[in-house]
Structure 1
Amino acid sequence: MAEARHRRIAADIERRIAAGEWRPGGQLPSRVDLAIEYDVHEQTVRLAVALLRRQGILEGKARRRLAVAYPPAVRTLTDPDGDWPYGREVIDAGTCRASSDLAARLDIPVRVTARWETLECWDPGGRSAMLVTSWWRGRRRHHASAVFEVGTVRLDARQAQAFRLPMDTVALLVQRTRLGAGGLPVEVADLVLPADRWQLRM
């Protein structure tokens, strides 16, 4: 019952935001005031707020007033091999045996050990803007050039959570291949970008 209540409150706050009662950047009443208004325990409001923050509708840190989040800016990706100008973090890394697809992309034998890592790149507001998973064999090497293929992909559960979007949402996929001086692949990567936040111009 409490779970259903916090979801109903979250839906009502979202409805009030859509109706213009609170605008992007504007502050909401405190959690205490919302609890009084909705006639519920403050913890129920905290659950509703946590849900809206995960969805990217509200922003604000613990013990601070909440604000309506601005919609994510639409950015243009012109150089998928360029340095990311904002914050980023390695969120996972490890080794794997190359599948036939990865082996073909890296031009290595199937089942050879490759290294990989996933970077989460943030926009200036600290929201997830892009996920980049890279694979390479041995030590990382400098590259002389890069080539790209563009397509789409449906977000898996982890990607959807990072972007605060529903699972199976269609996203842009840029497959990047970095080439050494001799023209052979030294590293490949999948760049996953939410389609509602990006346009490509390469």
Structure 2
Amino acid sequence: MPREAPYLHIADDLRRRIRDGDWAVGERLPSRAQLATEYGVGRNVTQRAMERLIIEGILEGRAGSGTYVRSPRERLRMVRSRHREDRSGSPFRADMLEKGHRGTWESHSEARVPAPEHIAQRLAISPGDLCVRTGYEFFANGLPVQLSTSWEPLAITDGTPIVLPEMGPLAGAGVVKRMRAIGVTIDVAVEVPRPGRADQQEANLLGITVGDLLTRIERTYYDRDGRPVETADIAVPDVRWEIAYEIPIDFD
């Protein structure tokens, strides 16, 4: 097994010491130079360790003053709801807006990506059929919230203005609205939540620790004929967010 990077070891130890009460909320930590001497490492190592804890929301840097223990972040509720998508285009933006946060995201799309077997099965296509794959990083007020990888069959969107989800006239509008623009009406969304653990890449992007709990959501959208038109793998850090499902009740 490869050895853990020194800064991760120091970050883990600082996290433990804060949890054990070595420094209280609002208290300033020793300088990077002092911690470097204490741990027997270079200042750049302690700097990376403290920057990691700042990303996690455990510490906060104050210009010209130092680094302080931050009040713990509140664990918020993320509501999964079809109605949010119907109202505002992006269910994520709508959910964040209700909490007073500014929901934003970064994305990168790749066209003509062969579908691996597990994605092909979810989309009811053949392995190797071409798709558009889009990776997303979602933020609330600039802080990482969730990751998502979306797959759309190219056979559905090829030659249309919505072939790339984050480009064109409906960029960022959400899957339901985009598909409706080309005559595909999404009728059902199926989500399967499962517990998971963050790998190195997920931990880096979400500002958490490798092995931290995640809620993994396998989501698939279906049109009125029961055809899968998009599927996505979503990862939400459990330490910051709980998942709630809003289920409408229709009365005859």
Match of residue 135 from structure 1:
151
Distance 1:39 1:109 in 2: 55
Q: How does 1:27-38 map to 2 (within 5 A)?
A: 27-28=28-29, 31=32, 34=34
Deviation at 1:68, TM superposition (A): 2.4
* Structure 2 residue 70 is matched with structure 1 residue 83: no
Q: What is the percent sequence identity of the aligned residues?
A: 25
Match of residue 169 from structure 2:
none
CA contact (8 A) 1:152 1:170 kept: yes
Distance 2:109 2:64 in 1: 33
- 1:52 aligned partner, one-letter code: M
Match of residue 59 from structure 2:
58
Question: How many aligned positions are there?
Answer: 194
Deviation at 1:59, TM superposition (A): 3.3
Match of residue 68 from structure 1:
69
Among 38, 41, 46, the residue aligned to 1:48 = 46
- 1:121 aligned partner, one-letter code: F
Q: How does 1:82-161 map to 2 (within 5 A)?
A: 82-84=91-93, 85=96, 86-90=103-107, 92-95=108-111, 96-124=113-141, 126-138=142-154, 139=157, 140=162, 141-142=179-180, 143-145=185-187, 146-161=189-204
2:42 partner SS: helix
Distance 1:12 1:102 in 2: 40
* Structure 2 residue 191 is matched with structure 1 residue 182: no
1:159 partner SS: helix
Distance 2:51 2:212 in 1: 19
* Structure 1 alignment gaps of length 5 or more: none
Distance 2:23 2:14 in 1: 9
Larger helix proportion, structure 1 or 2? 2
* Structure 2 alignment gaps of length 5 or more: 83-90, 97-102, 163-178, 246-252
Distance 1:26 1:158 in 2: 31
Deviation at 1:109, TM superposition (A): 1.9
1:102 partner SS: helix
1:78 partner SS: strand
1:111 partner SS: coil
Could you say what the CA RMSD is over the residues aligned between the two structures, in angstroms?
A: 3.4
Q: Deviations over 1:47-85 (max 9, x none)?
A: 313212224232338877433244343122221652333
Distance 1:8 1:170 in 2: 19
Distance 1:131 1:172 in 2: 11
